[in-house]
Structure 1
Amino acid sequence: MKRLSALAAGLLIGAAAFQFSGVASGQSDGWITLLDSSKMGDWDEVGKANWAMKDGALVADKLDGKDLSYLVSKNPYKDFQIRAEFWTDEEANSGIFIRCEETKKIDSKVCYEVNIFDKRPDPSYGTGAIVDVGKVDPMPKAAGKWNTYEITAQGPHFVVVLNGQKTVDAQDSKHASGHIALQYGSGVVKFRKVQIKPL
């Protein structure tokens, strides 16, 4: 009986340690934290902007050069869900790029671009859309408030939800897997949390 109690206690301690280690490494319920309010995380930068942690968010408001800036994930992902919290001003041009096949040159030809761009000249591919894949109508406005993107990529099926409202449900098979990238193009852009859950 004592041996059984000791075994049960050992299993409980082991389970608690496993659970704690998952949180400590940024994983919980399968979610991997790429960025949170206390740390920027580990990204490769393509192009230069003044990315910095300020007041619990990763912020950029100026390019250092003429090229757009991207923070690119170290790891590639195939099928996944993303949860991202972001804030922009009205002049912002940003986005979350997914399944990027290249890591040194990021654009909508080698990635899928889930847009954050309230003043895009063609609003059908503005905020809430996947550029050249899934249009949004009417385009929601994201400027001046904290927003949450939920992006699901499973095989050729893509679903984008902005603040609880589905904006895209589309099919495309150009890019099967690749890296994640956060974009800074103009205005003020803040990311407070970015998590990914492989499927």
Structure 2
Amino acid sequence: MIKSLTSFWLFGLVLLFISCGLGKDAEKVIFVKDSNEWFQEGRASWKFDGDLLVGTSLGGSGFVMTNKKYQNFTLSLEFYPDSGINSGIFVRCKNKEISNTDCYEMNIWDFHPDQESRTGSIVTRSKPLVNVETVGKWNSYKITCKSNHIRTWINGKLTADIYDDDLSQGYIALQATEPGRIKFRNVKIKEF
């Protein structure tokens, strides 16, 4: 009786584990305060203000980057840029040195001098399919990388949709450069 009751409870815990989304396909928050799963690099300042990750640049460039490489995933986050910041989300970075040729850079910079590389673009690979205005308010960014198919949405609008075989996996980074400030929150990843 005790053995069958124990088995029943273990089975129930497994079902609870799966139904709560704690299994393999669960969404995970990344860039969490006091975590050793990421590091910062460069001359921008990064700090937590409550649940916000705030990047401030006085002209230098800086990043926060995962210690883990990711391959197929959906990355979702919210961002709040001021009018001066040049920011972006870098995915599948080949190395821990950031560039828009060794990473896919999803730009956040409404006032980019080259509007083909403005917010919503994948820099050097795809101009934005639609223009979105993001300065001075909270916005959502969703990025899906599945095999060689990469798509991005800002505030629910599809901004990029490409097939590219250059980079199959890599690190994820957030950027702050140019004089300004960017806030991020709810940075979540779901691998598949």
Counterpart code for 1:53: F
Structure 1 residue 93: Cα displacement: 0.6
Shift in alpha-carbon separation, 1:21–1:177, aligned structure 2, 3 A: closer
Q: Equivalent residue for 1:123?
A: 115
TM-score, structure 2 normalization: 0.88
Alignment match, 1:50: 45
Count of aligned pairs between the two proteins = 190
CA contact (8 A) 1:86 1:148 kept: yes
For 1:137-152, what aligned pairs fall within 5 Å after superposition? 137-152=129-144
What is the one-letter code of the residue matched to 2:98? Answer: I
Confirm or deny that 1:7 pairs with 2:2.
Answer: no
Aligned partner of 1:93: which letter? N
State the Cα deviation string for residues 114-143 of structure 1 (Å, max 9, x = none). 000011011122101101112114421111
Aligned to 1:30: 26
One-letter amino acid matched to 2:136: G
Choose the corresponding residue for 2:173, options 140, 163, 181.
181
Indicate the RMSD between aligned Cα atoms, in angstroms. 2.4
Alignment of 1:1-199 (within 5 A): 4-16=4-16, 22=22, 29-35=25-31, 39=33, 41=35, 42-63=37-58, 67-103=60-96, 105-186=97-178, 187-199=180-192
Please identify runs of 4+ aligned residues in structure 1 that moved more than 3 A.
1-6, 13-22
**Whole-angstrom distance in 2 between the partners of 1:14 and 1:172:** 39
Any conservation in 2 of the 1:118–1:141 contact (CA below 8 Å)? Answer: yes
CA contact (8 A) 2:54 2:184 kept: yes
For structure 1, the 5+ residue unaligned runs are none
Q: C-alpha offsets along residues 32-69 of structure 1, whole Å, 9 cap, x if unaligned? A: 21035xx3643122202221111430112234xx6410
Question: Could you list the per-position Cα deviations for residues 126-161 of structure 1 after superposition, in whole angstroms to 9, with x for gaps in the alignment?
Answer: 101101112114421111111111101112111101
CA apart distance, 1:82: 0.4
| Bigger shift: residues 108-117 or 48-57 | 48-57
Distance 1:155 1:93, change over 3 A: same
* Identity across the alignment (%): 32
Q: Is the 8 A contact 1:92 1:118 kept in 2?
A: no
Q: 1:195 to 1:157 in 2, by over 3 A?
A: same
